[in-house]
Structure 1
Amino acid sequence: MQDPTEGAVWRQALAGSQMLLVAFGALVLMPLITGLDPNVALFTAGLGTLIFHIITGGQVPVFLASSFAFIAPVIAAKAKFGLEETLGGLAAAGVLYMVLSGVVRLKGTGFINRLLPPVVIGPVIMVIGLSLAPVAVHMASGRAGDGSAELVPYTTAIVIAMISLLVTILAAVWAKGLFRLVPIMFGIGVGYVLSAFAGIVDTSAIAQAAWFSVPNFVAPAFSWSAILFMLPVAIAPAIEHIGDVLAIGNVTGKNYIKKPGLHRTLLGDGIATSSAALLGGPPNTTYSEVTGAVMLTRNFNPKVMIWAAVIAIVLAFVGKFGAALQTIPVPVIGGILCLLFGSIAVVGMNTLIRHQVDFSERRNLVIAGVTLVFGIGGMAIGQVEGIALCGLVAIGLNLILPGSKDAGWGEASTEEDALDKSF
């Protein structure tokens, strides 16, 4: 089938705008939650996508942007180490992707089955979602993410949050075509309008912002404590990356694991993540929402994603645009996060179910049980805690406990998992 964007530059640009719109809600939501600059996130998403396409030879139609898997670690690391050292830890997480890329090139993908089976990754993904639940509830109730201060009266906040959540759910479940891929945009739009009527939207920052403005880039600082805190967190997004590469290959009918090769896609993702952190942006990941859009529109041309990247970079320099994003009230974001964070936990649960992890086997029960308690409870050993610690513990227990090893990552199941992440 001929790609409808072939040969027409204006069609490629228009399709690129559409892909950016699909990714946009999640792209800016992550920096808004973690306190990073959304304009920097736009710039680093565009830059990271361009880097990925250069490394992979422009063969894979994917778009890279803010990873939700890093939200809880970024919030915790900022409180513990400060922004600059947190960015240093994120840059190191990108280096871990590069190391994995080298191992895949030397050893193939088989080691992933042994080191990171579903019984390890499933509970870790569940922890990422469940550990964020208090943040969503605090924000939906009109408080700061850590619950330290009331920003909006509770009654007003909870009404706006629940309506924003309801609209997002309705769009995710009942909308058709491309509209089904942008439920976050619908939720934010309706919530913003309600907030304006309630008088809790402060637009003074938009008026004061310049039309053209260089994003607020921040240089990282490096400390072993922050690096060791952040490194294990990159494990779950690495598995997600593999699932997304398989998924987009399933949509386009090509085997990207072989060509350009999983080692090159991992390398591209890793360099994109490190580059983002060096500029003050969130870590990047391949977006399964965009994979869903590719499937619906049949726009298989990777040049479409390059256009999306260029448009994201241009928008990053529009000062009023970034200022407008930061006026979105806390309850609107909190309401939507009640769904998003829960969905992350469900993806982890779905991983265990699809791969038929047998919890009548004691080793599996021990791995999952200890991982969940350590992660959700915020267990700390030395400088390693929370998600980072539970990831390391899950890997260690899987390697040392006796008994039959859990089933590996079947290609078909991984494709389905990745596609199911799309709203």
Structure 2
Amino acid sequence: MSGRTISSGPMNWRTALAGSQMLFVAFGALVLMPLLTGLDPSVALFTAGVGTLMFHFVTGLTMPIFLASSFVFIAPIIFSVQTWGVPATMGALLCAGVVYMMLGIAVKLRGPGFIHRILPPVVTGPVIMVIGLGLAPIAVHMAMGKTGDGAIELFPYQDAMIVSMVALVTTLLVAVFARGLFRLLPIMCGALAGYAVAFFMGMVDFQIVHDAPLLAVPAFVMPEFHWQAILFMIPVAIAPAIEHVGDVLAISNVTGKDYVKKPGLHRTLFGDGIATSMAAMFGGPPNTTYSEVTGAVMLTRSFNPVVMVWAAGFAIFLAFVAKFGILLQTIPAPVMGGILILLFGSIAAVGMNTMIKAKVDMAQQRNLVIVATVLVFGIGGMAIGDGALSLQGVSLCGIVAIILNLILPMPSQDADDLHVEQEVVDDLVQHGRD
């Protein structure tokens, strides 16, 4: 398939095969996110498929994009589920999707530069770093055979470390040394390697798979609306909104088309928002554009958006295969923990790279103040308020970063130049007096 685009015929078997390949690339991250947050992976498959279809309906089937579970929301979802329950969390995520749609409308009215003016890299960079670093204890606890909060030991420490390190090493080796399509599958390769070792060590129980029916309707959950959960979740939408803009620019570079102009960034953001809100209506995780799939598009030259329609169709079909969804839930915690050590660290690195690429000058006091405050608030566990009214974690960091960026004065080059010119004039005057 390399070197030419796939035929545009929707019933072409090559297009269908390319669609299955795209789902395969996205699959590891797609199902890992709901497994970590306690959501149903079958529901995640369904909402990823339907969300992708809705995105393409809004954007007019113009972009080779696949949408699925967003990792940025892992920590907020875990906290929200523990605090307010799954239905309230879904209601909050639905509102986060509405924020996406409002951003799309704002971009339509104010232009694509609107988001970057409100959310510059000095704001989004440290917030993304907090998301990754804040998740680090969860990954370490799971790698050591415990629950995410470290309260319960699920597997013996030695067995868990063997499995988690096999998964971690496999993931990083594939990510660094693999070539071609396999380079896009580090998560899946790591999961398979760790799962195989866990199976031979007696850590996998297939009885629940045997007892499950072959086909069944996924365990959908209807949302409920609690304002505390909504206020907690809405600021989390900042990071994936910026990530979305980056993904749109990336796929534009791959295909050689300017998707910021057509279908327009306002439509892609709006489509992402609809996909996220729709997912929450069924109990699924929020959707985001997948960079892994963008990489696969670049390798295979599958520029035809119909390929993603096929991928969405396959995802919806798998959602109703009950035994498959239950099989995913047999993956032991150490397997996921080993992968997440690399994955969560990568999220933090993305935040750092966001500032590096934008050449954020940390010698400027305003930038140093914003980054330092956000990092310590997020990693240190700062909380403002009590009980249901408290703000903490990513939501607090997002609000603090935005407020600091708005109230702290920008360094003015013109003012600096004027100051230098005044010094020169003063020197000349003094020289004249002398």
* Class of the TM-score when normalised by the shorter of the 2 chains: over 0.9
Distance 1:178 1:243 in 2: 22
User: Is 1:151 equivalent to 2:154 in the alignment?
Assistant: yes
Query: One-letter code of the match for 2:349?
Result: V
CA offsets per residue over residues 81-124 of structure 1, 9 Å max, x none?
A: 11111111100000000000110000102222221000000000
- Once the two structures are superposed, the pairs formed by residues 403-418 of structure 1 within 5 Å of their partners are 403-404=410-411
Instruction: Summarize the alignment of residues 3-402 of structure 1 with structure 2, pairs less than 5 Å apart.
Output: 3-7=5-9, 9-382=12-385, 383=389, 384-402=391-409
In structure 2, what is the equivalent of residue 421 of structure 1? none
Could you list the runs of 5+ residues in structure 1 that have no partner in the other structure? 407-423
Runs of 4+ in structure 1 off by over 6 angstroms are none
Query: How many residues matched?
Result: 406
Q: State the shift of 1:158 in Å.
A: 0.5
Which whole-Å CA distance do the structure 2 matches of 1:253 and 1:38 have between them?
A: 34
TM-score, scaled relative to structure 2: 0.92
> 2:191 & 2:380 partners in 1: Cα distance?
31
**Bigger mean CA offset, 336-345 vs 102-111:** 102-111
Deviations 1:204-228 (A, max 9, x none): 1100111101000001110110000
The gaps in structure 2 that reach 5 residues or longer are 414-434
Q: Give per-residue Cα distances to partners, 1:294-351, cap 9 Å, x unaligned.
A: 0000000000000000000000000000010000011000000000000000000011
Q: Is the 8 A contact 1:126 1:346 kept in 2?
A: yes
Q: Distance in 1 between matches of 2:119 and 2:8?
A: 39
Q: Which one-letter code corresponds to 2:65 in the other structure?
A: V
Q: 1:405 to 1:176 in 2, by over 3 A?
A: farther
Equivalent residue of 1:299, what SS? coil
- Distance of 1:116 and 1:25 partners within structure 2: 30
In 2, Cα distance between equivalents of 1:393 and 1:371: 7
Q: SS at 1:65's partner residue?
A: strand
- Structure of greater Rg: 2
**1:153 Cα deviation after fit:** 0.3
- Report the RMSD for the aligned CA atoms in angstroms: 1.1
SS of 2:288's equivalent in the other structure is strand
Please name the residue that 1:411 is paired with.
Answer: none
Query: In the aligned structure 1, how far is the partner of 2:350 from the partner of 2:120?
Result: 15
Aligned equivalents of 2:237 and 2:154: distance in 1?
32
Distance in 2, matches of 1:206 and 1:400, equals: 56
Give 3-state SS (helix, strand or coil) of 1:132's partner: helix
**Cα displacement (A) at 1:203:** 0.7
Q: Distance in 2 between matches of 1:2 and 1:37?
A: 38
Per-residue deviation, residues 247-267 of structure 1 (Å, max 9, x unmatched):
001100000000000010001
Amino-acid identity (%): 66
Alignment match, 1:414:
none
Q: Secondary structure at the match of 2:65?
A: coil
Letter matched to residue 6 of structure 2: P
Shift of 1:405: 7.9
Give the counterpart letter for 1:40 in structure 2.
Answer: V
Cα displacement string for residues 29-58 of structure 1 (whole angstroms, at most 9, x for unaligned residues): 000000000000000000000000000000
CA contact (8 A) 1:17 1:311 kept: yes
* 1:377/1:386 contact within 8 Å kept: no
Letter in 2 for 1:38: P
Q: Distance in 2 between matches of 1:331 and 1:265?
A: 37
Describe the SS at the equivalent of 1:131: helix
**CA distance in structure 1 between the partners assigned to 2:7 and 2:339 by the alignment:** 33
- The one-letter code sitting in structure 2 at the alignment partner of 1:396 is I
